[in-house]
Amino acid sequence: MMAVAAAQKNREMFAIKKSYSIENGYPSRRRSLVDDARFETLVVKQTKQTVLEEARNKANDASLEECIQQAQEHIPAEQNVELQDEQPNLENLELPMDNDYVPVEDFEIESAETEQSQEPAGQPPKNDYGLTEEEILLANSASESPEAEAAMQSAALVVRLKEGISSLGRILKAIETFHGTVQHVESRQSRVEGVDHDVLIKLDMTRGNLLQLIRSLRQSGSFSSMNLLAENNISVKAPWFPKHASELDDCNHLMTKYEPDLDMNHPGFADKVYRQRRKEIAEIAFAYKYGDPIPYIAYTDVEVKTWRSVFKTVQDLAPKHACAEYRAAFQMLQDEQIFVDHRLPQLQEMSDFLRKNTGFSLRPAAGLLTARDFLASLAFRIFQSTQYVRHVNSPYHTPEPDSIHELLGHMPLLADPSFAQFSQEIGLASLGASDEEIEKLSTVYWFTVEFGLCKEHGQIKAYGAGLLSSYGELLHAISDKCEHRAFEPASTAVQPYQDQEYQPIYYVAESFEDAKDKFRRWVSTMSRPFEVRFNPHTERVEVLDSVDKLETLVHQMNTEILHLTNAIHKLKRPF
C-alpha cells in the first residue's frame, strides 16, 4: 500500500493542471484524443522540468557538512563513512549472483547522467551536482512518513570509477556502513574516456539510507558519475497505472469539465439553459464510484428530438456503408428495444447488453478524459461514456464526444467479440507506456476505432465511431476524394491528424483479426520492459514480471488446453 501511495503521489506531482486551451499551448481549436496526448506530453515535460529543477536547487542549497551530519545521525559514530581511506580486500570478497544476471556487455547507463552538470577533468564536483529524476521520486517516497523512509528498497546503482577497480572496495564498505545488502555486482571496462571501469551494483537498503549513500558517493572524487537505475527492470519513474477496475476512480480528475463554458465556438456557449444542463450531468458523472449503478438520466424532449434525428440518419446509412459486424450488433440492439427512436438508451441497459455479449461495461464520464486515462479503462473492458447530448442547433456535429456519438458510434462494435478484443489490447498496451507512446497509441486509436475503414467482399466499409455517427465524413471517407492506405500500425501511429476538416487519409484493415495481429507485433516493439494481462475473474491487471507469475499463467493455459483437447476428442467420436 505504501508503494501504491507513493506512485499515486508521483502521478499527482506531474499531473496536468492547465486547461486544454490554445492559450496554454493546446495544438488545435477542438479537443481530440490525439491532440490531448500531444498536449499532455508537452505539459508533462514542462512540469517535470520545473519540479526537478526546484528539487535540484533545493538539494544544492545544502552544504557538504550538512549532508555528512545527516548521514551520521542515522549511523553509529564508529561506522561513519570514509570513502577515501579504508580499502577492503576484494580478493576474498564473496558476492551473491542472482538469477537476473545481466551480461556485462549488455548493461547500459541510462541517460539521466546527461542531466547532471559535467565538471572539467580533475576538478571536484560541486555539492550534489544535480539530482536525477529517479532520486527525486525516491526522496518523495521516503518523505511520506518515518515508516516510508525506513521501508526497504531494492535498487540498482551504476558507478563509473576513475581510479580503477580498487575503488569498488570503498563503495562496498559504504553500503555495509549504511546497512545495505548487496545482491549482485558486476563490472566491465568503461567505454567512456577518462573512466576506468563501470560497475553495476544491485542492493537492498532502506530508502533513507539509500539516499544518504547516493549523496555520500557523489561527494567522492574517485567516481566520474553515479546513477540510480531501475528497480526489477521497471523504472521507478514509470507512469502509475491502475491495476484494478476500482482504481479507475482515480482516472477521471484530469478533465476539462464543462466545455460550453470554455469555448466561445461551442454551439451551446450562449445557451445558459444548455450549459446548466451539461453541468448537472457532469456532476453526476464526477460523483460516480466503482460498483455504483449507473445513474439514470431523464432526457428532455429536446434531447430526444436530437437523438431521433441522428438515429434515423444512421439507420438509413448503416445498411450500405457500415461493416457487417456493426450491422449485426445494431440489429441486436433494435431487437432488444434498446435502439428505438422515441427515447435515448440509458447507459445501464447498454452496459448490461455489452457485458452479456463481450464482457465490456460502461462507466459514466463528465467529458473528454485525458488520453492516458481513457485508454487505461479499455484495458479493463470498461468504456468511459458521456451522458449529455449535443446542442439541438447542431444535431449532426459535436465538438466533443456526447452520448449520441458513444451510443451509435461505439456501442454496437463493442458488442462484437473480435472488435472488443482489439479495443482492450490497445488499452493494455497503454499501461505503463511513455508519454510519447501514449501519443502514438492515441493516433492508432483515432485512425481505427474512431475513423477506421475495413474491406468487405471487395468493398470499403466503415467501422470507426466518428464516421458512423457523422454522415458527412462517412460519405467523404468512402468516396474518391481521400486516400486509402493499408493499416500498418507503425505508419499509422505517426500520421498527422487533421482537426479543421475531413481527414485526407484513412486506413483500411483487411479484417479485425488482421488488424489485431499487426497491432500485437507493433506493440511488442514498444519500450515498456514488462508485459501485462487482464484477469477477468478478479478484474485485475497482472504485471508479468516474475517467473512465479509466468509459471502460474502457464499452468492456467495448460488447463485450458486440456479442456480444448478433450472437446476435440469428443467431437471426433463416432455417433
Give binding residues for Fe cation as ranges.
Answer: 405, 410, 450
Pairwise CA distance, residues 509 & 95, whole Å? 54
Among 141, 224, 469, 470, the active-site one is 469
Q: How far apart are the first and last CA of the chain?
A: 58
Please state, in angstroms and as integers, the Cα–Cα distance from residue 559 to each residue in 15, 364, 421, 548, 553, following that order.
43, 37, 22, 17, 10
SS3 299: coil
Scanning the structure block, which residue is given the C-alpha cell 491502475? 242
Q: 349 exposed, middle or buried (CB, 10 Å; 0-12, 13-18, 19+)?
A: middle
Active site residue 450: yes
Among 266, 321, 391, 405, the active-site one is 405
Q: 10 Å Cβ neighbour count for 287?
A: 11
Length of the chain (residues): 575
Among 410, 437, 439, 473, the active-site one is 410
Active site residue 105: no
List beta partners, residue 531.
Answer: 544
Grid coordinates belonging to 382: 470498461
Pairing of strands 531-535, 540-544: antiparallel
Rounded to 5°, the CA angle 64-69-71 comes to: 100
Active site residue 439: no
Longest dimension (CA), the chain: 89
Active site residue 266: no
Give the phi and the psi of residue 329 in degrees, each rounded to 5: -70, -35
CB of 414 closer than 8 Å to CB of 383? yes
Q: Which residues are the active-site residues?
A: 405, 410, 450, 469
